[in-house]
A and B are shown apart, each in its own frame.
Chain A
Amino acid sequence: EAQVTQNPRYLITVTGKKLTVTCSQNMNHEYMSWYRQDPGLGLRQIYYSMNVEVTDKGDVPEGYKVSRKEKRNFPLILESPSPNQTSLYFCASSLSGIGEKLFFGSGTQLSVL
């Protein structure tokens, strides 16, 4: 089954403790991206990647890192999480670009205490 898999689904952590949210797709998609969703603000793009080793900042990249060492994986790294990064995070992928149909993961609800 074609899908984007995010883990974990829920995560509670404390300020400053490094964490990684994993994202994997099985559709051989070139494009992958991360979004955060906060009440009243809609979905905002954090980082995106067009291919292996090619990443770029979205609208809200501060405090986040990403890597694309393999085509199928696009982890989101929070080196030193802060409470303002408490949010619902989504990973998405598409075949070749932002105009293509995006497939989203089921989301990761992160709480930073």
Chain B
Amino acid sequence: LAKTTQPISMDSYEGQEVNITCSHNNIATNDYITWYQQFPSQGPRFIIQGYKTKVTNEVASLFIPADRKSSTLSLPRVSLSDTAVYYCLVGDMYSGYSTLTFGKGTMLLVSP
């Protein structure tokens, strides 16, 4: 399973755009990239998933370059409620026969 590397923490202010980059140099052909958000004492919550290029939903965008060795989660106009830990995961969409490591994630702190 591809290992991912993310910044430990990031700071931002309300209303700004936040970009969190994840490195996954050993990503495999069948691997998808998925981002989760976790608030204290709650289970992680799915944000967005993609395979290549750009994916956008109502809360975020995911940018994946052609070589797929990294990905960037973009949160537009963050608010205080976006303060959370964000995890980048890489995994085969169709295979469950492997461990799934979340890593330590990126702690995003949004200030007024």
Interface on A for B, CB 8 Å cutoff? Answer: 4, 30-31, 33, 35, 40-45, 48, 50, 56-59, 88, 90, 92, 94, 96-107, 109
Contact = CB atoms under 8 A, between A and B. Distances in A.
Q: B-side binding surface: helix, strand, loop or mixed?
A: loop
Contacts of A57: 99
Contacts of A97: 91-96
B55 interface: no
B87 A43 contact: yes
A5 to B, nearest CB: 11
Contacts of A43: 44, 87, 102
Interface residues of B, number: 29
17 contacts: A41-B104, A42-B105, A43-B44, A43-B102, A44-B102, A48-B96, A50-B97, A58-B99, A59-B99, A90-B43, A96-B96, A98-B95, A99-B34, A100-B93, A101-B46, A102-B44, A104-B43
A35 B105 CA distance: 15
B97 A104 contact: no
Interface in B73-109: 87, 91-105
